[in-house]
Amino acid sequence: MKSSKLYKGSLTTIILKLLSEYDKMYGYEITQKVKAITAGELQITEGALYPSLHKLEAEGFLEVEFVKVSNRTRKYYKLTEQGAKEADDKLEALKSYMETMKAFLYPKFGLE
């Protein structure tokens, strides 16, 4: 990831947001989708992606499905009901954070 310190805390939110839009996704697909959406600005490293996906799975936010594709096994991730709720909560928190930062970076000076 570029500017990794700033993006680091948002990785789970990014994963949850993507999975809330696309029914099910696999690891490589997630990295490519993020790269495409952000025009290459944000690149999730494999070393960070899989431990995060496994953590979300262990917490019950994601469920998995193994599918035989060509001559190999592919692991798909899907949001659980609890995961969908978590995605909403995380996005709300992120929006609120962005609003606060926006207000801080571009303060509106009134007549008060």
Partner 1 sequence: MLSSKEIEAVECFVLANGITYVDFKYEVLDHILTDVEERMVIGNLNFDTVFQDVQKVWEASFASTSSFWFGVLNANPKIVMQKCTKLINASMLKALLLGLTLFVGMYIVSPFFAIKSLLINNVLEVYSVICAISAVTFLYHFFYIKIKTSKTAYSYCYKRHFVCVPFYNFTMILIENAYKSSLHVPEWMTLLWLLFFIAIYCMSFAMFSKHKTYLKYHHLKIT
Instruction: Catalog residues that contact partner 1 under the rule CB under 8 A.
Output: 26-28, 45-48, 50-51, 54-55, 58, 64-75
Which residue number, 67 or 93, has a Cβ lying nearer to partner 1? 67
Cα 12 from Cα 25, distance rounded (Å): 14
Minimum distance from residue 95 beta carbon to partner 1 (Å):
27
Which residue number, 37 or 64, has a Cβ lying nearer to partner 1? 64
For residue 11, give the nearest of 27, 22, 85 by alpha carbon: 27
Minimum distance from residue 27 beta carbon to partner 1 (Å):
5
For residue 108, what are the CA distances in angstroms to 4, 22, 47, 80, 105?
Answer: 30, 38, 41, 41, 10
